[in-house]
Structure 1
């Protein structure tokens, strides 16, 4: 099970590590690693706050931009059959392939943010 939580405005992916029997949080969208562990959700959020504060302070001290910049462009490699199916689905929806993919990504991201 993978979940996303927000701590002080930053998103973190939460997973369970069965080897150490702990919850693990990892901030996404940062330029560096800032992960944190705990045995309860409450403690995980507190550890996340501490980890994020240390990370941001380090970035300030070293004049490093803490957040990743996204260009809005990325390449996707997929099976030719899946490519063809996507083109057909996009055309059937009256959209370009790019519009259709943007909608699919947004729908999937919104579903994940709702805890689906």
Structure 2
């Protein structure tokens, strides 16, 4: 199971690495890797803060943008039955398929 935490204003996914018996954090939306490990949540926050600081410093030194840019476009592949059901649901909501999918994703992505 993965969980999202926020460290210094940046989101990171946290999972258990069973091979080493530690929590592993990985920042989301960065142009490179800034992962971090700890035995507990308090130390994970400390290690994450340090990892992010070092990553941002290296990016600044090299003149690299540390954050990924998102275009707002992506392709989704569905089985034909799900595609048809989504078209019907969109039409029932008086929306285009794109509008309906965007609304569903936005709602799901912002649930907490």
TM value normalised by structure 1: 0.92
Question: What whole-Å deviation, never above 9, does each CA across 1:7-59 have from its counterpart, x for those lacking one?
Answer: 11111011111221111110010000111110100000100000000000000
Secondary structure of the corresponding residue to residue 54 of structure 2: helix
Root-mean-square deviation (CA), in Å? 0.9
State the partner residue of 1:47.
47
4+ residue runs of structure 1 moved beyond 3 angstroms? none
More moved, 44-53 vs 6-15: 6-15
Structure 1 residues not aligned, in runs of 5+: none
Question: 2:19 & 2:30 partners in 1: Cα distance?
Answer: 26
Partner in structure 2 of residue 109 of structure 1: 109
Query: What is the alpha-carbon distance in structure 2 between the residues aligned to residue 109 and residue 48 of structure 1?
Result: 23
1:27 is aligned to 27
Give the alignment's TM-score, normalised by structure 2.
0.95
Higher relative contact order (CA 8 A, sep 6+): 1
